[in-house]
A = this chain, B = another copy of it.
Amino acid sequence: MSPQRGIGREIHDFVAELYPLCRSITGEGLRTTLRHIQKRIPLTVHEIPTGTPVFDWTIPKEWNIRDAYIKDSNGKRVVDFQQSNLHVVSYSVPVHRQMSLDELKPHLFSLPDHPDWIPYRTSYYRESWGFCVSHKQLLTLRDDNYEVCIDSSLEAGHLSYGECYLNGEQEEEILISCHVCHPSLCNDNLSGVALGTLLAETLAHQPRRYSYRFLFLPVTVGAIAWLALNKAQTKKVRHGMVLTCVGDRGKLTYKRSRSGRVDIDRAAIHTLQHGGKDFSIQEFSPYGYDERQYCSPGFDLPVGCFMRTPNGCFQEYHTSADNLEFVTVESLADSYEKMSQILEIIERNETYVSLNQECEPQLGKKGLYRAPGSEENLALLWVLNLSDGRHSLLDIAERSGMVFGKIRKAADDLMEAGLIKPIGRS
């Protein structure tokens, strides 16, 4: 197995480890998930009490569930939460009653177009209850006297989220955010969570120019809570990325930040353009994942979104078919590799001044003779020509059409030869 496939396998295994847990935007499933992440990286778990105001929102009650089922008159569980946590509408209030099929039906949800799949539904901000079932199963339900039980609780408690901070040479931060509130769904949620965890694990053992903040939080209210409680901290965010849906077989997609032209946008696009595979660039829109909050006008953080097939653009989205087979070792490995390259550009981008502003230096006598017109020679000439203090290496890579790594290598060689020097980091 190639080293690349190796990391893909490791991410997939971690997805599989987290898959059975019944997560929601609050509760024990979420806490257990954070503990699994904590086994791998230094994660602080925060608990925000129910009722805490966070901007226009309020931390909701905590939801927990122990069991849920629909039993027929023979006492047989025809729908069983123990089989799939998708069977219960997330945030369902407790219920335990006998009822006819007619009474039950308004509480049953299925997908007629995909009769084998169980849909995923939530009812976060409106108290109700319900069951999700495959359409096939729905059709088998006869008129009967059913025992309907949801053994849940919806009470004052906490909203939990995890934060992994890795300090770097600089206080300026790179923010990486993943939502961690979906139950047994692999691409939309766990792939991003696992990729974020493994990236943090690798970065924890590397020298870091920037500090890193990895957030694992419930979508929307979690990000809003973090922003509300960390307003001062957000001033240090220089670059950021939301990770989601990074395991499916589709091509990579990068969705630009609100400003659309910041370094994270350019680093991501450069990486995809030089990645040798099909890819897609999306303009910013205020819909999607937590980039909606990070890019709200009062913050306008330089945060993009890294994914393969976007939310809502694959049929399996928010169904039981977004399972362990839907995410692949190869795609996870490719996502990891590309995200690493994006971070490498951000980390290693720098602006230099050539010490020979007037005409080229004589490279031969500096031990930098490369065949005229070779890529190595061109990279040296580009760095020398544009190192006027106004062009970063990323600028130079973009203008020359050469991949960042080769420009970076040329700059390293020129530094070593004493021909350029870095200007103060911004």
Which has the most chain B C-beta neighbours within 10 Å: A286, A293, A354, A400? A286
Q: A258-B385, A285-B382, A287-B373 are in contact. Are A360 and B56 (CB under 8 A)?
A: yes
Number of copies: 3
Select from chain B the residue with minimum beta-carbon distance to A378. B287
Q: Kindly state whether residue A386 has any CB partner on chain B within 8 Å.
A: yes
Using Cβ atoms and an 8 Å threshold, which residues of chain B touch A287?
A: 372-373, 377-378, 381
Q: Are A293 and B382 in contact (CB under 8 A)?
A: no
Known interface pairs A381-B286, A382-B285, A385-B258; A358-B299 also in contact (CB < 8 Å): yes
User: A386 and B354: CB pair below 8 A?
Assistant: no
Q: Using an 8 Å CB-CB cutoff, how does the interface string of A314-356 with B read, 1 for contact, 0 for none?
A: 0000000000000000000000000000000000000000101
Say yes or no for A57: interface residue by CB 8 A criterion. yes
CA distance A372 to B57 in the complex (A): 18
> Given known contacts A381-B292, A385-B296, is B286 in contact with A359 (CB within 8 Å)?
no
Once the chains bind, are B228 and A358 in contact (CB under 8 Å)? yes
Distance between A275 CB and nearest chain B CB, rounded to angstroms: 23
* A389 to B: closest C-beta gap in Å: 9
Q: Are A297 and B385 in contact (CB under 8 A)?
A: yes
The reply to whether A360 and B285 form a contact with Cβ atoms under 8 Å apart is no
CB proximity to B under 8 Å, residues A353-382: 354, 356-362, 364-365, 372-373, 377-378, 381-382
How far is B385's CA from A300's CA once the two chains are assembled, in angstroms?
9
Given contacts A358-B228, A373-B312, contact A378 B285 (CB under 8 A): yes
> Which B residues lie within 8 Å of A118 (CB)?
none
Residue in B closest to A224 when the chains form the complex, CB atoms: B359
Known: A258-B385, A373-B312, A381-B286. A55 touches B356 (CB 8 A): yes
- A400:B293 contact, CB within 8 angstroms: no
Which residues of chain B have C-beta atoms less than 8 A from A220's C-beta?
Answer: 360
Docked CA distance A223–B359 (Å): 9
**Are B286 and A385 closer than 8 Å at their CB atoms?**
yes
Cβ–Cβ contact A228 & B296, under 8 A: no
With both beta carbons as reference points, the residue of chain B lying nearest to A354 in the complex is identified as: B297
Question: Is A79 part of the contact surface with B, judged by Cβ < 8 Å?
Answer: no
Closest Cβ–Cβ distance, residue A292 to chain B (whole Å):
6
Contact A297 B386 (CB under 8 A): yes
Is the pair B357, A56 in contact by a Cβ cutoff of 8 Å?
no
Could you tell me if B295 and A360 are in contact, using CB atoms closer than 8 angstroms? no
- With contact pairs A285-B400, A373-B287, A373-B312 given, residues A295 and B385 touching in the complex (Cβ less than 8 Å): yes
Give the CA-CA distance A18 to B230 in the complex, in Å.
71
Least distance between A197 CB and chain B CB atoms (Å): 25
Please state if A357 and B298 are interface contacts (CB–CB under 8 Å): yes
* B295 touching A56, Cβ below 8 Å: no
- Least Cβ–Cβ distance between A346 and chain B, in angstroms: 25
Indicate if A227 sits at the interface (CB-CB under 8 A): yes
Q: List 28 interface pairs A-B (beta carbons < 8 Å), by A numbering.
A: A54-B359, A55-B356, A55-B358, A56-B361, A57-B362, A224-B359, A227-B358, A227-B359, A228-B358, A231-B358, A285-B378, A285-B381, A286-B382, A286-B386, A287-B381, A292-B360, A292-B381, A292-B385, A293-B360, A296-B356, A296-B358, A296-B360, A296-B384, A297-B354, A297-B357, A297-B387, A298-B357, A299-B359
Across the A-B interface, give the 7 residue pairs with the lowest CB-CB distance, nearest first. Answer: A298-B357, A298-B358, A297-B388, A286-B385, A286-B381, A56-B361, A224-B359
